A = this chain, B = another copy of it.
Amino acid sequence: MSQPDAPLIGAGNTRRAARDSLSSAAARKVERPAPLRQAVYEALLDLIVNRTLKPGQHLVEIELAEHLGVSRQPVREALQRLQTEGWVDLRPAQGAFVHTPTDEEADQLLSVRNVLETYSARLAAERATPEDVKQLRKLQNEGVAALKAKDVERVVAANAALHAFITQLSGNTVLAEMITTVDRRARWYYAPLALTRGEDAWTEHADIIDAITLGEPAEAARVMSHHTERTRTAYREHRDATQPK
């Protein structure tokens, strides 16, 4: 049985009990209690991203439900959301399967990501305050430190944090949400190649921050585009290297 052994909710069977345990798993505070399906969504997404649930794997509702200690209903709803975001495929009358990204799709996603991130960098350069710049430097330092320490986890986290912050700086909420989704998926795709290009990436990050600091939108856009394009190329090369055709 390929049941993952992650959160596993206690025997608590009431709605409240299930919610609490799952929420703590997701480490979130809720004023107005978020629906259970939200916690389930986050739990499942996490399981997919960290590859506990493998691409192509058939996700049986009742199994996930029992694993998380809830009923099928919230699981269904979470799975459907995961579908619209491209994490799983829902085949009518057959159920959910963890999405298996094709090379072509990954490449397309990375190019879309390029376009969106480039635009966000441009906007960020137009709007960043000195305080924002200070924060950017901080994130950059953290990333470089993590890289020096060869702490993969930390580098990945720092990378995500830096990009997320620039995205926020753009001031365009619609754009930011889109990038958040796309980026997460992109990271999932190129996770295998991890830190093969760590050094270069953080040099490029420095260039991006410089452009934002100087308030030069065109330059920021150019450098960000270069950066994300390099990532895309790295992905391609990695792919060609590992699948020698």
Contacts and interface: CB of A to CB of B under 8 A. Distances in A.
Contacts of A173: 105, 108
A92 B178 contact: no
Nearest to A110: B174
Contacts of A85: 84
Q: Is the interface of A mostly helix, strand, loop or mixed?
A: helix
A108 B32 contact: no
Q: How many copies does the complex hold?
A: 2
Contacts of A81: 80-81, 84
A175 B92 contact: no
Interface string A104-117: 01001101100110
A34 interface: yes
A76 interface: yes
A223 to B, nearest CB: 17
A244 interface: no
A32 B175 contact: no
Contacts of A92: 32-35
A235 interface: no
Interface string A81-110: 100110000001100000000000100110
Contact of A172 (B77, B111, B172): B111
Nearest to A77: B80
B76 A109 contact: no
Contact of A93 (B32, B116, B175): B32
4 tightest CB-CB pairs across the interface, nearest first?
A108-B174, A108-B172, A115-B119, A84-B84
Given A77-B77, A108-B174, A109-B174, 5 more contacts: A80-B80, A81-B81, A108-B173, A112-B172, A115-B119
